[in-house]
Amino acid sequence: MIFKLAILNIKRNKKRSFLSALSIFFAAIIIILAWGWIDGMLQNLIDTTIDFQTGTIKIASESFLKQEKFLPIEFYIENKSDFIEKLQNKLSNDYPKVNFEYEERLNIAGIASKGELSIPALINSISTEKELTKYQIKRRKIEGNPEIGNKKIIIGKDLAKKLNLKTGESILLVTKTYISGLNGIKATVSSIVDFGIGSFNKSIILMDINDVKQLAKLNENSFVQLLLFFDIKYVDDILKSINNLLVNSFPETDLKAVPFNVSMGQIYGTMQMMRKVLIIVFAFILFLASFIIINTMMMNIFERINELGTLMAMGTTKKEIFLLNFYEGTIIGILGGIPGSIFGYLIAFIMNKIGFDFSKLLGGYSMLMNYIIRPSASLAIFFVSLFISCIIPAIATIIPSKYASKLLPTEALRHL
């Protein structure tokens, strides 16, 4: 009965109810889009770091990990094939349903030289075809046919420009060898690409893993770092399995397995904290939007104060008066919140599929971030937005509802 009365009241002044619902509708859209953008940027940073630096789990010697920023190559591990075989057997037995990808990485600091020009460069190894697809080379090539192997290289557009390089031309690549010497090899540029990451365009050269090893004079059956890629939800369990293998089967080495969140260090912790803070910030935004409902409800109460007095005189209890106003505000909130969340999610979903190119803005930065930013459109964001856009207006309605329930019938009837 009270609920029906609340709906009737909403219908009585459709324009005002519509405007109140509209404020919640837009607030819900803003929440989903703003959250989607920020979450998309954070996820972009995490995904790019996992893909290019940390893997889901990285295995390397402890000495290497301590000095990783200097890209040391002297801390290599012998018998790569034996190690990978044992690791694959262990993980496929322990986690038969998890899909694992193994990538060997050997990134070295070097010099790219053409004639009198010498420019510092980062030579990144490519060990699998799949690894090459992470760079989205085919989509991003500017010229040439992206190929590696047989001393063919793929080079970032800004580095190529500095060296005045064209595809098919040769350059001298020089680096420190694992025994503290210097070595150089001639390499042919197969393709010039826009990696989509500013720092990569300025310094990255992609080269086949065996060519990089030849340059650093490392044995082909050795490795410096091995990256494992799998669904991050299994990271803790798989880390335990790998640690068991390292302790039991490779006790003589100082090999260590490090999950991506540890490799990323404080940045990852800060990102997770930012995500939590965002929920509070968006709840606050919605609370501010709910003030329109509070305002509408207060206006309602003042306009219909005589009606409330009549209802009270007819025996309607204070609780029923409170519920009448509470239902009214909550329904308006739901009427705005549900379509707002759905519409916001749809926009975010479309934006996620399209992606936005920020190359002009991010091109100058050395941040490990993909130029193409895709706002997140996860169901988690949708449900959280739906929840807070329905709950907060309901909470906000308590204030005018309590005011109405506290009115005395005599006081209300005086307005007749």
Partner 1 sequence: MNKFKKSKEIKKIKKIHFMLFFIAFIIFIFLSFQNEEDILKKLDENVTFESIHYTGTLEIIRNNNKIIKTFECWAKNDLFLIIFKNPEDNGVKYLKKDGNLYVYFPSADDVLTISKSMMKQGFMGSDISNEDITRNRKLLDDYSIVSFNKIIEKDNIFYELTLQAKTKDVPYFMQKLIINSDFVAIKTEQYDLAKRLVKTIIVDEIKKFGSRYYPVKVTIQDGIKTSYKTIFSITDVSFNIPIDPKIFTIQNLYNK
Which residues lie near partner 1 (CB under 8 A)? 74, 111, 113, 116, 118, 120, 172-174, 176-177, 179-186, 217
Shortest spacing between CB 220 and partner 1, in angstroms: 16
Say which residue the tokens 């826009």 belong to: 194
In contact, 111 and 173? CB cutoff 8 Å:
yes
CA count, 13 A, side-chain hemisphere, 211: 24
Shortest spacing between CB 234 and partner 1, in angstroms: 37
C-alpha to C-alpha distance for 19 and 105, rounded to whole angstroms = 58
Shortest spacing between CB 156 and partner 1, in angstroms: 19
In contact, 112 and 241? CB cutoff 8 Å:
no
Shortest spacing between CB 214 and partner 1, in angstroms: 8
In contact, 206 and 132? CB cutoff 8 Å:
yes
Q: Give me Rg for the CA atoms of the chain.
A: 31
Shortest spacing between CB 123 and partner 1, in angstroms: 14
User: Residue 98 has what DSSP assignment?
Assistant: S
Shortest spacing between CB 185 and partner 1, in angstroms: 5
* Of 104, 110, 124, nearest in space to 60 by CA: 104
Q: Considering beta carbons, is residue 72 or 336 the nearer one to partner 1? A: 72
Q: Considering beta carbons, is residue 162 or 415 the nearer one to partner 1? A: 162
Q: Considering beta carbons, is residue 53 or 113 the nearer one to partner 1? A: 113
Q: Considering beta carbons, is residue 173 or 246 the nearer one to partner 1? A: 173
Structure tokens at 221: 């059956």
Q: Considering beta carbons, is residue 99 or 180 the nearer one to partner 1? A: 180
Q: Considering beta carbons, is residue 6 or 171 the nearer one to partner 1? A: 171
DSSP string, 216-237: HT--TTEESEEEEE--GGGHHH
